[in-house]
Structure 1
Amino acid sequence: MQQVKPFNTTLKQHERSRRVLAIVGDTQVGLWVVRSLARHGLEVHAVTNTKDGQSAHSRYSASAWILDHKPHESGFDDEILTLVRQLDVGSIMPVSEGFHNRLISMRDQLDAAEVHLFSPSRDNFDKATDKDYVHQLCLDLEIPVAKGMCLDELMEAGAESTLQYPLVLRTRKQNVDAGKVPVKAAYARTLEELLNWHRQFETFADNVLVQEYHPGAEEHVQILMHEGEMFMTGDYIGEHHMPLAGGVTVQRISCHHPAVIDDTVKLLKALNWQGIAGVQFHYDPDTGKYIFLEINPRFSGGLPTVVMAGFEAPFNLWQSHFEPEKMRKTPYKIGLRSRILGGESNWFLGQMRRDELPPGQTHLGRFEAALTVLWNCGPWTKDDSFLLADPKPFAVDFRQMLKKLGARGHEIVN
């Protein structure tokens, strides 16, 4: 392993329980995990993907490291255990599903080392990432969900009349070695387009979920379940995405829709969920109708918006294990808007290029798109990286933005 930021001894905590190894990657989501924990007095050691990881440049990280092994490689377990012993941490908090998946398999080893892992149980993780299972659970709970089936079943049943177009195609199970849809969402507006996708996905058609497309915006609910009950939620609408046809939310606005929250809690209670989750819906603001899309067993990509709006999800998650008696709910600000500068810049370029959009949506006029970007340069829109007390990560993000300018995709969770 490589240490890319020396240990800042001014952040040292003497209680082992207050030392956290945060496996956060390079982007804004991980940065706000580090900020949330450290601003509440924890000693946070960050694991990034590269030396340009934003958390490696944050004043809130006590040190930063790059691992030599990826989660699927044979040396990963030993490397993690070595780092845990070297830093003498009391817990590990991962961000991405790949790390969650591997670390869950290490839970017995971590328990033996008296290190708490902030990940769901193996059973809950596998259920939450199985869209078939969750889809059926929603039907049983009478939670609105799009009609759909696996691509291979659809082709066998007869693609001509089984589902109503347009259709959206997504990966059914993320945590498999092969057979993932190469985009977040693919669309079929006609039978011909569906057959074209089937030709591309035929070898793993059993891992492709096809559903009827529901209009509206993506609504994400970041939720912390504690002792079988909801502790707190923070939800937001994705206003802009990159790629335009379906990708990460590069501009968001905090919101609150009680019916969506109620169904989120109902679903997670049925799973006996403990800890953090990000639950995604499609919400139509014109009608108030919504459908469930998926559960992410991790922090949402819009975590910066959630924390800035008042829900300290990472710190509350830490508290839920180490000091639950001190957990306190805080006000959640509605209407707080934040953006990823690089992602928003590429959203604008996508509008200029007239990149593909989801069904039923239309491009903004070029002048209107430019005004939208300029308007959101005002102080009423927060930046996902910039913080006056912690400016260096924004400088790193700005340099990376210049390198990625013009890209047709934008990664937020590494």
Structure 2
Amino acid sequence: MTTTAPPSPPCLVLGIDTQIGLGVIRELGRAGIPVIGLANRANSIGLTSRYLHRGLVAGPRRDEALVARIRALGEEYGEAVLLAISETDLTWLIANANRLGRVRAVTPPPEAFRSVLDKTRTLELARQVGIRVPVSVHCETLADWQRAAASVRYPVIVKWADPMSAARRLQPLNLKPRKLEYALDADALLAIGRRYEAAGVWPLVQEYCPGRGLGQFFFMHEGRAVRRFQHLRIAEWPPEGGFSSVCDAVPLSQHADLQERSIALLQALGWEGVAMVEYRLDEATGEAVLMEINGRFWGSFPLAVHAGAGFALLAYGLQGLGRMPELPPLADDLRCRMGSTELKRLARILFQPGRIADPHFRRRPAHEAWRYLRDFLRPKVRYYLWSGDDPRPFFADLRNVVRKLLPS
């Protein structure tokens, strides 16, 4: 039996297990593009979206079987575009892009992607274009680490320059790279270093930078930013910093000079496609310090979807098919919430303040509780998962949470 080709070339989305992949499905599906989702798990929330043309459980392995499956979908549907969500999947697609038959994988330029994964390289380029970067210490030996512990100003942040490369080095020792750690004194920093001594690889040590997370988002095409958007983190999980659980769209009239420097950084990288340039913004001084670049769709992507930014449409249309899609005006007055992580954050602030690692975190329990409740009544608030026209992913996520809590 031959499958009738849909009117627009379908878009395959690899990794539809989180709110990011769900946001991509919704943005494309609402525009009438047939979306074929490739899920890692049978309980992936993306499989329940009404905007999914077809859902498949591909599993977590990235191997020859997946190459064959993607090629088969290309033969079945004809011309197709493939988007990926995670950095791991983008790395795999870059290595296999020429083996997917009639399916065109949308990826960043390989060299630019490698530079973005290497935070040391990113920070050096940022300095060259006039962006303030945190003071960082790169250690290659335990002796380097010990010297750093004796000389840095505390508190400091510990993070990996290249998490994917670090994971490969640490895996044989059953260690995993931690996204972010705080060291309040030399003893704490030395303890972190000893954890990685057997692997012979150490993370970056960076100065602590106060403030909120400011994300600037761009779609780069032939060296120009054809679309831009930005948001300010209102709340993060964990409270001391991680990923956004509540964020506000920010008008493009604000931080205009910083936007131009972000674009200059992406141009210096030779970047094409979607990217997030993430800063720590000290609202007291107005100073923004670069944290990293995410060369992929980001955790708070649902806000960009609600705002009409159209980044998934651009990836599909401009990178995938060479066509500039029509995009609506940006909505810059929205707030977006991730209900489950916001609730965990509130519980941490109210009942477990001793577990908040940031010594400068300002704990305001009454203010946080009131904001949490008040946001349910604000007409401009949207949600990472809940959508009135596509409610099933929310309930699928709720089901998954309940199953995790129940005894096995």
- Name the SS of the counterpart of 1:159 in structure 2: helix
C-alpha change, 1:47 and 1:172, in structure 2 (3 Å) is same
Q: Give yes or no for contact 2:16–2:47 (8 Å, CA) kept in 1.
A: no
Give the 5 Å matches for 1:237-248.
237-248=232-243
Decide whether the 8 Å contact of 1:228 with 1:272 is kept in 2.
yes
Within 5 A, what are the aligned runs for 1:11-410?
13-15=6-8, 18-68=9-59, 70-71=61-62, 73=63, 75-110=65-100, 113-152=101-140, 155-156=143-144, 158-160=147-149, 162-176=151-165, 177-179=168-170, 182-204=177-199, 206-255=201-250, 256=252, 257-321=255-319, 324=322, 326-328=324-326, 330-351=328-349, 352-354=351-353, 355-365=355-365, 367-378=366-377, 379-403=379-403
**2:125 partner letter:** L
Give the CA deviation at 1:169: 0.7
Could you tell me which amino acid in structure 1 is paired with residue 182 of structure 2?
A: Y
User: What's the offset of the Cα at 1:310?
Assistant: 2.2
Stretch moving more, 223-232 or 386-395: 386-395
The one-letter code of the counterpart of 1:202 is E
Instruction: Give the C-alpha shift of residue 222 in structure 1.
Output: 2.1
Aligned residues: 391
- Go from structure 1 to structure 2 and tell me whether the alpha carbon gap of 1:405 and 1:145 turns closer, same or farther (over 3 Å shift): farther
Structure 2 residue ranges without an equivalent (≥5): none
- Partner SS for 2:148: coil
Identity of aligned residues (%): 25
Number of the residue aligned with 1:5: none
What is the CA–CA distance in structure 2 between the aligned matches of 1:161 and 1:52, rounded to whole Å?
48
Separation in structure 1 between the aligned mates of residue 149 and residue 324 of structure 2, nearest angstrom? 57
Q: For the structure 1 residues 145 and 154, does the alpha-carbon distance in structure 2 shift closer, same or farther, using more than 3 Å as the test?
A: farther
For residues 186 and 312 of structure 2, the distance between their equivalents in structure 1, rounded to whole angstroms, comes to: 44
Amino acid at match of 1:224: F
Deviation at 1:245, TM superposition (A): 3.0
SS of the residue corresponding to residue 178 of structure 1 reads helix
Q: Which amino acid aligns with 2:136?
A: G
Change in CA separation of 1:32 and 1:208 when aligned onto 2, cut-off 3 Å: same
Distance 1:261 1:207 in 2: 32
Q: Deviations over 1:258-295 (max 9, x none)?
A: 13311210110001111111221111122110111111
CA shift at 1:89, angstroms?
Answer: 4.8
Q: Secondary structure at the match of 2:296?
A: coil
* Structure 2 contact 24–312 (Cα < 8 Å) conserved: yes
Any gaps of 5 or more consecutive residues in structure 1?
Answer: 1-7, 407-414
CA RMSD of aligned residues (A): 2.4
Cα distance between partner residues in 2 of 1:91 and 1:292:
32
Quickly say closer, same or farther: Cα 1:98–1:84, change in 2 above 3 A.
Answer: farther
CA contact (8 A) 1:26 1:53 kept: yes
Given that residues 69 and 75 in structure 1 are in contact (C-alpha distance below 8 angstroms), is that contact kept between their aligned partners in structure 2? no
Per-residue deviation, residues 388-408 of structure 1 (Å, max 9, x unmatched): 2111112112333445679xx
Is the 8 Å Cα contact of residues 222 and 300 (structure 1) preserved in structure 2?
no
Aligned AA for 2:369?
Answer: A
Q: Displacement, 1:205?
A: 5.7
Please state how far the C-alpha of 1:236 moved relative to its aligned partner: 1.1
Instruction: Report the CA distance between 1:153 and its aligned residue.
Output: 6.0
Alpha-carbon distance between aligned partners in 1 of 2:176 and 2:281, rounded to the nearest angstrom: 23
Contact 1:181/1:201 (8 A) holds in 2: no
Q: Deviations over 1:168-201 (max 9, x none)?
A: 0111112221338643210112111111111123
Q: What SS does the aligned partner of 2:196 have?
A: helix
Deviation at 1:133, TM superposition (A): 1.0
Distance in 1 separating the partners of 2:199 and 2:279: 25
Change (3 A) 1:205 1:281: farther
| TM-score scaled by length of structure 1 | 0.87
